[in-house]
Amino acid sequence: MNLTLKTKAALVTTLVVLATVSLAGGWLYRQQARDHVALLRSQQDTLASAMAANLDFKLAASLAALAGAARRVDAAVLTSPAAQARFFEANALRPPFNGVAIVGDDGMVALNDPPNTAPVNIGDRDYFRQARVTGQPTISAPVLSRSNGHPVVLMAVPLFDANHRFIGALAGGLDLLSDNALGDLGHAHVGASGHYEVVTRDLSPLYVMHPDPALLMKPAANLATPDDLDTGRDFVTRRTLRHVPWELRIVIPAHEAFGPLQRARRTLLLALLLTGIGTVLAVSAGLGWLMRPLETLWRSMREQRRTPDVVVPIDTRANDERGQLAREFEGLMHELRAQRAELAAVSDTSPLGLFRAGLDGRLSYVNDAYLRIHGFADRDEAAEGWIGMLPKDDQDEARQAWRRIVTEPVGMHVTRRLQRADGRTIVVVVRSAPIVIDGRVQGHVGTVADVTERIEGDRALRTQAAIFEATTDFVVQTDHKGRLLYVNPAARRMMGLAPDAPIKHLTALSFNPPATVARHAVEIVPTAVDKGVWAGETVQWDAQHREVLVSHLLLAHKDRHGRVEAFSAILRDITAQKSAQQALHRSEAVLRSLTEVVPMAIAVVDKTQRCVFVNQGFEAWVGRPRDQLLGHTAEEVVGAEEYAIRRPWIERVLAGERLTFERDDPSREQHRHVRVDYIPLFDEAGEVEGFVAVTTDISAARAEERRLRDLAQTDPLTQVLNRTGFQRALDDRAARAPDEAPDALVALLYIDLDRFKPVNDLYGHAVGDQLLQMFARRLRQLVRPTDLIARLGGDEFVLVIDGLHEEANAMIVADKVVAAAELPFELPAGTLQVSASVGVACWRPGDAATAGGWTQALERADAMLYRAKAAGRGHAVANATMDA
């Protein structure tokens, strides 16, 4: 903003007056503020000291009353309800406390007043542990009550027996949400809007008392004591309590504490404002009368500056400073008009576009060449018209960059691509230089050159040269007589020429076998001359004179009269391509032969789901010849029902996913299990062009897996489950336990043959094995097919029987096992006699829902087995039903 001399003088005078008045008023305001704050602090200090002493007294009195009552607690009060009732009635501890409790030495609350039926233990509370350790009364930090969930402060006085042994504590609680020594203080007001706060004194202070119940036991705000003139903060006064590590705060809101000061400050500012306005008006009126002649000269000079080519009359007759200034200005304008005339003559004849830009970026002058280059109709359109010739997304950024450039003291050189209104795209080079007057930039002047044709020609030549230099094809140019003019790097390498070797003395035919030379004379060159181009395959020589098969394109370049000026040849080595094609044909033949002999059913399906190839294995699998399969859809080949099952898999493989799955083949009379692989086929663009379906019969492999698994879980001697098979069967039953009837019983019988070792020692292990086999057969005859029989090792067997109604059923089976073992064993070696001991464990299905439960049952049955042996062998012993 440009200020007139009159305005500046008025402002300076006003500022001096206001500064003087402000300093005096400010000093008075600060004195008043200090006196006000000192009086307020004295009042609040007195109040804080009195309130802190009062709160200290109430807390001390409450603690003393609780301690006095504690001295009247004896052992009877801790155990006798009648004594407890008499104690609470005689001591009248409510009030001052909202609740009183007698606590045992383990922290368990024995009795509450008022009563509370829920069990409460305060053994982990800090105040209880401190009273128990120190033997002194304690006051707690604010905590949440375990009886009603309210924030409370608790006092505890230790209780001792006649031998001064700690037997418990008498505790009194102050509910911070109720009326008491603390709660009453939270409802009290200081002044109109002030309040009291009580906070703990530690590293993380908490609110013990606050008018807002939601803040109780929350982290306390760090309220700093304000400076004398810090009117933006609440006024806080603090006092420390003697009996507890707490701090009492009196908080007066800033708007109440400093209200008088703020009103005084507003009055002072209003007075300053009125004084400033009066001063400005008075000074402006006086200076206006003094500056009127100079203002008249200024208007004339401004009009002359706006229209420098028009002579504006200026009064130069005055003999004072105004006349001198007018005469100097008139001389300067005469020189300026002469310079402008010279510049206009030069710019109108220049082939370059000339322009001048102001500090706002707009062009204030352009010559005719500038208009012609940009296609503008007049100079008004040229002010910012070039910006509209840029892409829309770039216009705002370009405008801001240009406005920044014209204010900088450095020149610019940039190339721009512009779109004219007639649709033509031009490339221009813009150069500018700053206009610096008295060290300040006043704008830029510059030139614009249209380089569109030159840029396009250079780009075409660079592109062509780059293609020729980088391509792996062989590019050769000759004159009309066949002398070499240009050979690209790839052709030089093939011909054995160094990159910088001269070529003008060589001809293209020097690098061709005789047959190719003859073909050039009778076919290639005549065709190119006649039709402008020839294309085909020829044989060339490389650097070692080896024949190279190439694809060959020959172009004939003619002048405007039709005479040949030069030839261009483009050749490509296709030796590897031909070899690859031959190798591909051989690979296809080998692959087709392999697919016919592999023991798999193979089919190739295109992306329309039609079969394009099947091998003999696939023909045998579906039972139809190849001519009835090729060209048919997958649904027609496998049938509608089977296609409905396979359709999701087909859609996934056609989406590019490789799939492998196993399933039973429903089309076979004999059960067969197959593995199917769907493999997507991709083209060079990465698109799926079909898939390969491979079907393999894996029935025998799966049967062998099952056989080996059964062998691994069966005892080879007795053909019952071994320990591994038994554990697997237990895991399966544990998984089914939640589905079984909850009231049914399951029994585990742990069996050990008595006097079996002498059989092995006297008759040999072969006889012992025969006895074990016969005993296993007897066990099978005793139980149901669904029950488990296992040999855990040596002469130890286990039975698991489920679905029992009572434990007696398990003992019946155990007695049968004992009886079966005592029957004579008729063996080739003679008749042998043994016995068996049985341990029985019973439980409900839910008791052994995991493998760990079965292990526990087995351990219990084993323990019962040893009891049976201790009872004299040949017995069965059961334990009580396990309780989960």
Q: Rounded to an integer, what distance in angstroms lies between the CA atom of residue 444 and that of residue 413?
A: 12
Residue by residue, what is the 3-state secondary structure of 854-865?
Answer: HHHHHHHHHHHH
Decide if 112 contacts 172 (C-beta within 8 A). Answer: no
Query: Quick one: which of 271, 197, 205 has its CA closest to 235?
Result: 197
| R_g over Cα of the chain | 56
Residues labelled as active-site residues = 795
- Inter-CA distances, 664 with 660, 695, 705, 761, Å: 14, 12, 16, 53
- Residue 373 has phi, psi (to 5 degrees) of -65, -45
Q: What distances in angstroms separate CA 662 from CA 255, 673, 677, 690, 833, one per listed residue?
A: 83, 7, 9, 21, 54
DSSP-based three-state secondary structure for 368: helix
Give Cα 133 to chain centroid, integer Å: 52
Distance from CA of residue 417 to its chain's centroid?
Answer: 43
Report residue 284 CA to chain centroid gap: 67
Element spanning 614, H or E: strand 611-614
How far is Cα 362 from Cα 385, in angstroms, rounded to an integer?
A: 9
Residue type present at position 616 = Q
Task: Determine the 3-state secondary structure of 267 from DSSP.
Answer: helix
Residue type, 647: R
Residue 516, classed as helix, strand or coil, is: helix
Strands (E), 282-362: 353-357
- CA angle 323-325-328, nearest 5°? 110
Decide: helix, strand or coil at residue 454: helix
CB neighbour class for 107 (10 Å; exposed up to 12, middle 13-18, buried from 19): middle
Instruction: Write the CA distances from 751 to 161, 538, 723, 839, integer angstroms.
Output: 62, 95, 14, 7
Q: Is 481 in contact with 509 (CB distance < 8 Å)?
A: no
Quickly list DSSP for 813-878.
HHHHHHHHHHS-EEETTEEE--EEEEEEEEE-GGGG-SHHHHHHHHHHHHHHHHHHHHTTSS-EEE
Token code pair at residue 97: 């406390």
Q: How far is CA 302 from CA 3, 146, 338, in A?
A: 15, 89, 19
CA gap 48, 250 in Å, rounded: 7
267-278: burial string, b at 16+ Cβ within 10 Å, e else: ebeeebeebbee
Distance CA 539, CA 542 (A): 10
Residues 6 or more apart whose CB falls under 8 angstroms from that of 71 comprise none
Exposure string of 118-142, with b = 16+ CB inside 10 Å and e = fewer, is eeeebeebebbebbbeeeebbbbbb
What is the C-alpha separation between 208 and 218, in angstroms, rounded? 9
On the CB side of 204, CA atoms within 13 Å amount to 5
Cβ 87 vs Cβ 78: under 8 Å = no
Structure tokens at 257: 């504490």
